[in-house]
């Protein structure tokens, strides 16, 4: 044979080019699948987070926060793995199986039928394994949610755990759910590891029957060694794909179980917004007409026959024992709960006829349990739709809330990071930041839930003086436990068991010598 010197000279370079192209193709293929997987994670997480932001408050009242975080993190990853690795193996190996069976039928349909007889057995086994995988995957996902919940509680309540010597209890509680999670994982691994050798053994039985049949009678005469080897090669080529298809079943079932959990959340109805009216800036006139409310149909009414009116700029104080319905009543104002009976109007418009986002723009809120975000002081004051507020505006609000004095002493002043939920600030400092946020919003309606409870006496005196001036032109609903803070309110509503039992000014209610008077005298005596 003649040697072509040109081919010999270029052969090494051609070999390098072939491997280079193979490497590029392999990289592009792997990268493309990973890009698809991460895109799936990104899109699903964005959809989930958006749905969480639009779910009604009532959904969070009855849902474990650990499970929600687990769906957002762990379940989405499970779906991503199933959508990339799982589907890739499923498609590739299914094509190999179909191709191998086609070759086997070409060479001997009789022997191919023998192999196909194992199909129903393997299919039945896979159906059983699939159900078990899905059941165990759901258990694991729920247990991961419990692990997340307990971990989060332990981190958030680290002071209480140490003060009340709860370390051993928390360790035991965590170990229990961690052990259950471990057992569920091991059950899934046992199922996965046993399923592969069982399927292989079934295929080995088919292989033995094929070899035995091929060496008997007419079939032996009809086969040439080449045809027999081609048939056996095609059959042996089935083993690895069938093995991988069995093993990938756990990934697919985990993805399916996670997908069911994710889509059940995505299918939750968002907050109802039937309103169409837009209010530029509310005056703050309210009227409650025979309002009743319960958290669900089966529970007793929390509010019963609530009737009162509020004029723009009035300060309304809600007092009463815990569980009397004060917080529930003010939660109806921004429509955190929507299914009440009766009617509530703002400036003559039914609350449910006002567009939800527009309605909530009319409110500012300062609660007893202050929520701050892991961001700077400035970002916590100028939060949400106030993020473009000027530095002067933020500073003025902080000064009015008597927060400026401690903010300016911090190393980075308004650029100081407050930590998770403001852990780097004292309780009083956090509350003053929250008050500054409410002041900056310039909303016409304020909800104050014991807004000065975390302040020392000096700061509280300053805040009360500031509030007297700042609340003159705002309708204010104040939930108060210390009656000394609401003596100047225009109207005090004394609540008991979901009803307004007394209504009037501080002096009028004291003169009645009823429930309010008794509560006031009790607090005055305790204070004395």
DSSP per-residue letters across 215-257: TSHHHHHH--HHHHHHHHHHHHHHHHHHHHHHHHHHHHHHHHH
pLDDT band at 415 (very low <50, low <70, confident <90, very high): confident
**Is the pLDDT assigned to residue 528 strictly greater than 60?**
no
Alpha carbon 205 to chain centroid, angstroms: 50
Q: Where are the domains of the chain?
A: 44-266, 286-527
**Is the pLDDT assigned to residue 220 strictly greater than 60?**
no
**Is the pLDDT assigned to residue 5 strictly greater than 70?**
no
Q: What is the pLDDT of residue 461?
A: 66
Highest mean pLDDT among 101-105, 191-195, 312-316, 397-401: 312-316
Nearest to 287 by CA among 338, 339, 332, 336: 332
Does the fold of domain 286-527 match that of domain 44-266?
Answer: no
pLDDT band at 4 (very low <50, low <70, confident <90, very high): low
Query: Would you give the DSSP letter of residue 299?
Result: S
Q: Which residue has the higher pLDDT, 143 or 458?
A: 143
Cα–Cα dist 144/131, whole Å: 20
DSSP H/E element including 451: none
3.30.2090.10, 3.40.50.300, 1.10.645.10, 3.10.330.10: CATH of 286-527: 3.40.50.300
Cα–Cα dist 414/403, whole Å: 11
Cα–Cα dist 83/76, whole Å: 10
- 343 DSSP β-pair partners: 289
Q: What is the four-CA torsion angle of 270, 331, 363, 478, rounded to 10 degrees?
A: -170
**Is the pLDDT assigned to residue 157 strictly greater than 70?**
no
Residue at token pair 């009116």: 309
**Is the pLDDT assigned to residue 455 strictly greater than 60?**
no
Highest mean pLDDT among 193-202, 415-424, 507-516: 507-516
**Which percentage of the chain shows pLDDT scores above 70?**
82
Q: What is the pLDDT of residue 155?
A: 65
Q: What is the pLDDT of residue 460?
A: 63
Cα–Cα dist 128/161, whole Å: 45
**Is the pLDDT assigned to residue 402 strictly greater than 50?**
yes
SS3 content of the chain, % helix, strand, coil (to 5): 65, 10, 25
pLDDT band at 164 (very low <50, low <70, confident <90, very high): low
Whether domain 44-266 has CATH 1.20.1560.10: yes
Backbone phi, psi, residue 313, to 5° = 90, -5
DSSP H/E element including 359: helix 356-360
pLDDT band at 527 (very low <50, low <70, confident <90, very high): very low
Cα–Cα dist 356/273, whole Å: 6
Write the pLDDT tens digit of every residue in 37-47. Answer: 778 778 888 88
Q: How many CB atoms lie within 10 A of CB 211?
A: 14
Highest mean pLDDT among 58-62, 90-94, 165-169: 58-62
pTM above 0.85, yes or no: no
* 3-class secondary structure, 412: coil
**Is the pLDDT assigned to residue 454 strictly greater than 70?**
no
- Please, are residues 441 and 366 in contact by the beta-carbon 8 Å criterion? no
Q: What is the pLDDT of residue 226?
A: 67
CA atoms within 13 A on the CB side of 258: 28
- Please, are residues 313 and 473 in contact by the beta-carbon 8 Å criterion? yes
Q: What is the pLDDT of residue 458?
A: 62
Instruction: Write down the mean pLDDT value for the chain.
Output: 77
Write the pLDDT tens digit of every residue in 174-208. Answer: 788 888 888 887 887 877 777 777 777 777 777 77
Q: What is the mean pLDDT of residues 396-414?
A: 81
| Among 136-145, 226-235, 340-349, 386-395, the least confident range | 226-235
Write the pLDDT tens digit of every residue in 296-313. Answer: 777 778 888 888 888 888
Per-residue HEC secondary structure of 306-358 comes to EEEEECCCCEEEEECCCCCCHHHHHHHCCCCCCCCEEEEEECCEEHHHECHHH
For 237, residues 6+ apart whose C-beta sits below 8 A from its C-beta are: 96, 100
């Amino acid at each position: 044979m003649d040697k072509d010197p040109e081919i010999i000279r270029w052969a090494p370079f051609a070999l390098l080019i072939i491997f280079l192209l193979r490497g590029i193709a392999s990289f592009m293929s792997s990268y493309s699948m990973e890009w698809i997987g991460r895109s799936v994670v990104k899109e699903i997480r964005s959809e989930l987070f958006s749905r969480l932001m639009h779910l009604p408050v009532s959904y969070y009242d009855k849902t474990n926060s650990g499970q929600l975080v687990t769906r957002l993190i762990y379940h989405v990853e499970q779906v991503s793995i199933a959508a990339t690795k799982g589907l890739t193996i499923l498609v590739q190996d299914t094509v190999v199986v179909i191709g191998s069976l086609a070759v086997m039928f070409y060479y001997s349909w009789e022997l191919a039928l023998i192999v196909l007889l194992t199909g129903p057995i393997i299919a039945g086994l896979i159906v059983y394994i699939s159900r078990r995988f899905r059941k165990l995957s759901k258990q694991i996902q729920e247990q991961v949610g419990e692990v997340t919940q307990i971990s989060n509680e332990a981190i958030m309540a680290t002071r209480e755990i140490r003060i009340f010597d709860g370390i051993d209890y928390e360790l035991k509680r965590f170990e229990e759910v961690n052990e259950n999670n471990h057992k569920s994982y091991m059950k899934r691994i046992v199922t996965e590891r046993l399923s592969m050798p069982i399927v292989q053994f079934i295929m080995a039985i088919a292989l033995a029957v094929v070899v035995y049949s091929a060496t008997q009678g007419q079939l032996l005469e009809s086969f040439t060694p080449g045809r027999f080897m081609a048939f056996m090669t095609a059959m042996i080529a089935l083993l690895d794909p069938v093995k991988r298809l069995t093993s990938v079943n756990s990934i697919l079932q985990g993805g399916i179980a996670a997908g069911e959990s994710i889509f059940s959340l995505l299918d939750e109805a968002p907050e109802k917004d039937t309103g169409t009216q837009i209010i530029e800036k509310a005056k703050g006139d309210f009227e409650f007409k025979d309002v009743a409310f319960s958290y669900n149909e089966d529970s007793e009414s929390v509010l019963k026959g609530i009737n009162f009116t509020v004029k723009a700029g009035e300060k309304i104080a809600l007092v009463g024992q815990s569980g009397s319905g004060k917080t529930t009543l003010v939660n109806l104002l921004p429509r955190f709960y929507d299914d009440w009976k009766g009617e509530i109007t703002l400036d003559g418009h039914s609350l449910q006829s006002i567009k939800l986002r527009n309605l909530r723009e009319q409110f500012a809120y300062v609660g007893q349990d202050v929520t701050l975000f892991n961001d700077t002081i400035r970002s916590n004051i100028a939060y949400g739709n106030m993020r473009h507020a000027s530095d002067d505006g933020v500073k003025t609000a902080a000064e009015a809330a008597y927060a400026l004095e401690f903010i300016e002493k911090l190393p980075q002043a308004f650029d100081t990071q407050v930590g998770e939920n403001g852990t780097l600030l004292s309780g009083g400092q956090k509350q003053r930041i929250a008050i500054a946020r409410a002041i900056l919003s310039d909303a016409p309606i304020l909800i104050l839930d014991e807004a000065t409870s975390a302040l020392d006496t000096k700061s509280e005196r300053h805040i009360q003086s500031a509030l007297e001036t700042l609340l003159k032109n705002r309708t204010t609903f104040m939930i108060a436990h210390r009656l000394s803070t609401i003596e100047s309110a225009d109207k005090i509503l004394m609540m008991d068991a979901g009803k307004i039992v007394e209504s009037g000014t501080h002096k009028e209610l004291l003169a009645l010598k009823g429930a309010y008077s008794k509560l006031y005298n009790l607090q005055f005596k305790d204070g004395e």
